[in-house]
Structure 1
């Protein structure tokens, strides 16, 4: 794929991801409108936590390990057998796991979220029992997405995710007046099934694989190698999702609605992080695995540095804007219906703590991809486990009594930065992944500092009271500030855009 084609694909994937995330946020907004920060809102969030955890963590581990090994296979017959074996194990394993989740829904909720009231626990168990089967289709969809990505088919995977989120929202809006809270059960399960079907149709259309069951292949070493790689990736890739799970476990001991508020804030933080990062890594990772298989260390290092630089500029800028306009964002997105001003104040405070760590979370996911591509997944596992279960949990205990829910968010942010620093150090020492002068140059940090100061001053000085008006005016001024600050500090990616606009007569 040429550089121009690659950028075009990234642009299309990014656009579809934006639309998909829009519907994902719209779903959260609907929950906020109908239930605000109440016990029912907490139950809906908790019921869908485990299916989404499995989708992201288990599905992501299966897909990442599959791509890494598949890209190194040379014989077409072995590739076909490997696909069929993985398809068989994924279907059987997830069907059995989904059945266990349904049967033991009550004990699972009691163990994971012990602080819930009797009423909230009952509602959560009921919803979870209906949403649990979606886990099968979600995990299978993640793996089918990986197969399509290998063959440079990025459009349908992005469309299927959009269909899942949009279908969920549409069904909830249509069915809620008739089914009440059960509309969320129908939306969750139907959306997952539709996503899986769309991906399967795309695979059959291009005859990429056959959906045959196979329990073993001639060379079993590939399957053994897959499982040896998948398990560490599963633990290492679970870092962000374990953060969310632990947040909700501890928040179950706090006041009603805190779980929902944590969810609303964390979802907003994920928008710029996931859209910018996922669009790039979805397209880049198969290419990265290919470069690693060729032993092209220079190409791998160049991708490493450029990716981190892009994340720092994009996510760093988004962090500044979201932090300054946190209250306006929450009010504009959520404060309708049952979502009160008190809900806005609580959620906006949590958003500020979360957004400080947005770059660290995004960069951790990006950097671990390089460990996986080079088949060195051990340290991301160790660093993730220490960050989540040692540093994060210790800080939550330290902060939560005095800071409440804010202490949970702050602990997550600090832990993410600790893990990022550790990954960078080990990446350089063990993998030879270096951050060169372009990323450490003073121009980038001067740009971010200048952008911060000007954005804060504008936020303080805007005379408008209306939140939407402040966001629109503030957003326009922010974009102008980015272009000017980039030109002044000589950031190549920004100053070149500024010069193009200047030549066209835009001052």
Structure 2
């Protein structure tokens, strides 16, 4: 499988979702502003998504995809893989249902513990979270079917599915644009509706691929026990990350009204390269690395990671630097207006310019962790995650009192790099992955190209700076000038400096030339 092609397919469709997400956030900022009702909705939206990353994207994928891929390689591969999927589904569904019911019952105290809200704000946040929480059940099932499709190199439906959530929420904003509690309730209902749409999309895609799973009686089969042995450490590891997310919510809710909104809008811009590049690479390389590890081909597995790291840095370094340099103009152009004031835009931009500095590290984590998961080692990332969690808490207590939301953003960026460094050091010591000389050389040249791009962005800001808070047309022109100008400088410089193989760069844009081994 061509890594550039697979990443391009996943990343391209993820970009569609991100564009829909931007439209949603742009409208939401104008309709909801940075009000207490908006903060209450963001709590309701973050909680099921935090558990989704715990059960779905993190632990489940880490445990399911390598085991499913192994069974596909057997003598009766498709049959064995299908039976394994049905066994997991039989245990997975009742567990998720029970989990959802328990949290629906204890939602009020749980939201109070996380947010510290009182009175009307606590009541609204609890009510909204009860509406959104079934999304966890739906999207976790989506993760199972996505894992099946990704294992057989069918990435399209799983990559497009998140767009349905954004479209559902965008529809709610268009139909109920009054703001306040009324729109918050409509948005919460749209979250669960989006989960239903995603599940139907994935079920249809699996059926077209000839995969129709039956719901069996739950049984602890050997396959389920093997899955549990792998997934429990991964769940603990993902749990540590999500505890960190809860801690972020805890601190944000106490910084002051609007902080959750500022962080959400900043994270929306930060998540664009994260989703398009990081998630796409992580999804694309895990089956490949698992295949090479299972075939006792460690050199090929390491080379896949090197290819992924090169592509990650080729795209993430300019994205991070561009977002940091252009945070103010971009936030003003995209979100300022209606109930979202210039002061709101300024605080959001400050948050973005800091948190995005951890973007390359976060994407590299997506490249490094498959090196552990493909070897069914989910315990080591857990230990690293625990250390990172402690560091995050300590930094939050140190940095938030003097710097507010900027301190929280700094803690996130610093700990992203700490996580990345620790994962790499352990892989290096075990001989599983070491940065080859050609990769280090190319990344250094990419960084030089980034500096040239940063200078160009600064010049563009000086020329069209007033346009970012002017009419919608001028705002659009300003954003296009920034994005287009940055790309027009960076990619030619990378080409000239040799920051990547020229054929690989052609493949990135044309998606038809095969990826060749690096020399």
TM-score (norm 1): 0.91
Q: Which residue of 1 aligns with 2:60?
A: 62
Task: Kindly state the Cα deviation for residue 153 of structure 1 after the two structures are TM-superposed.
Answer: 1.9
Q: Which residue of 2 aligns with 1:477?
A: 485
Tell me, what secondary structure is at the counterpart of 2:337? coil
Distance 1:117-1:445 versus aligned 2 partners, 3 A rule: farther
CA distance in 1, matches of 2:70, 2:129: 40
C-alpha contact 2:317 2:450 (8 A) present in aligned 1: no
Task: Kindly state the Cα deviation for residue 280 of structure 1 after the two structures are TM-superposed.
Answer: 2.7
Q: Which residue of 2 aligns with 1:224?
A: 225
CA distance in 2, matches of 1:454, 1:71: 41
CA distance in 2, matches of 1:439, 1:245: 36
Deviation per residue, 1:194-222 (Å, 9 max, x gap): 111121122223331322223226xx332
Matches within 5 A, 1:112-261: 112-114=114-116, 116-176=117-177, 179-216=182-219, 220-238=221-239, 241-261=242-262
Q: Which residue of 2 aligns with 1:104?
A: 106
Q: Which residue of 2 aligns with 1:38?
A: 35
C-alpha contact 1:44 1:127 (8 A) present in aligned 2: yes
Q: Which residue of 2 aligns with 1:17?
A: 14
Task: Kindly state the Cα deviation for residue 235 of structure 1 after the two structures are TM-superposed.
Answer: 2.9
Tell me, what secondary structure is at the counterpart of 1:71? helix
CA distance in 2, matches of 1:13, 1:447: 23
Distance 1:81-1:292 versus aligned 2 partners, 3 A rule: same
CA distance in 2, matches of 1:476, 1:185: 36
Gaps of 5+ in 2: 469-474, 510-519
Tell me the matched-pair count. 493
Distance 1:188-1:487 versus aligned 2 partners, 3 A rule: closer
CA distance in 1, matches of 2:9, 2:169: 22
C-alpha contact 1:459 1:474 (8 A) present in aligned 2: no
Among candidates 82, 85, 88, match of residue 86 of structure 1: 88
CA distance in 1, matches of 2:64, 2:140: 13
Distance 1:244-1:25 versus aligned 2 partners, 3 A rule: farther
Deviation per residue, 1:355-393 (Å, 9 max, x gap): 1000111111221121101112222111112112x1111
Deviation per residue, 1:208-256 (Å, 9 max, x gap): 1322223226xx3322121111122223345654443221111111110
Tell me, what secondary structure is at the counterpart of 1:492? coil
Tell me, what secondary structure is at the counterpart of 1:212? coil
CA distance in 1, matches of 2:313, 2:427: 18
C-alpha contact 1:84 1:214 (8 A) present in aligned 2: no
CA distance in 1, matches of 2:244, 2:359: 13
Task: Kindly state the Cα deviation for residue 320 of structure 1 after the two structures are TM-superposed.
Answer: 1.1
CA distance in 1, matches of 2:198, 2:8: 21
C-alpha contact 2:13 2:159 (8 A) present in aligned 1: yes
**1:375 aligns to 2:373 (yes or no):** no
Task: Single out whichever of 152-161 and 12-21 deviates more from structure 2.
Answer: 152-161
Task: Kindly state the Cα deviation for residue 495 of structure 1 after the two structures are TM-superposed.
Answer: 8.8
Tell me, what secondary structure is at the counterpart of 1:314? helix
CA distance in 2, matches of 1:497, 1:139: 35
Distance 1:283-1:487 versus aligned 2 partners, 3 A rule: closer
CA distance in 2, matches of 1:78, 1:303: 27
Show structure 1 runs of 4+ deviating over 6 A. none
Deviation per residue, 1:451-505 (Å, 9 max, x gap): 225523541463222123433223232122213422442223359859x99xxxx
CA distance in 1, matches of 2:14, 2:401: 38
Task: Single out whichever of 78-87 and 144-153 deviates more from structure 2.
Answer: 78-87
CA distance in 2, matches of 1:57, 1:72: 23
Distance 1:381-1:128 versus aligned 2 partners, 3 A rule: same
Gaps of 5+ in 1: 502-507
**1:395 aligns to 2:398 (yes or no):** no
Task: Kindly state the Cα deviation for residue 444 of structure 1 after the two structures are TM-superposed.
Answer: 2.8
C-alpha contact 2:456 2:485 (8 A) present in aligned 1: no
Q: Which residue of 1 aligns with 2:406?
A: 406
Task: Single out whichever of 455-464 and 64-73 deviates more from structure 2.
Answer: 455-464
Q: Which residue of 1 aligns with 2:501?
A: 493
Deviation per residue, 1:252-291 (Å, 9 max, x gap): 1111011111111122111112111222332322222111
C-alpha contact 1:102 1:132 (8 A) present in aligned 2: yes
Matches within 5 A, 1:332-347: 332-347=333-348
Tell me, what secondary structure is at the counterpart of 2:254? coil
C-alpha contact 1:324 1:456 (8 A) present in aligned 2: no
CA distance in 2, matches of 1:47, 1:22: 22
Among candidates 30, 44, 47, match of residue 47 of structure 1: 44
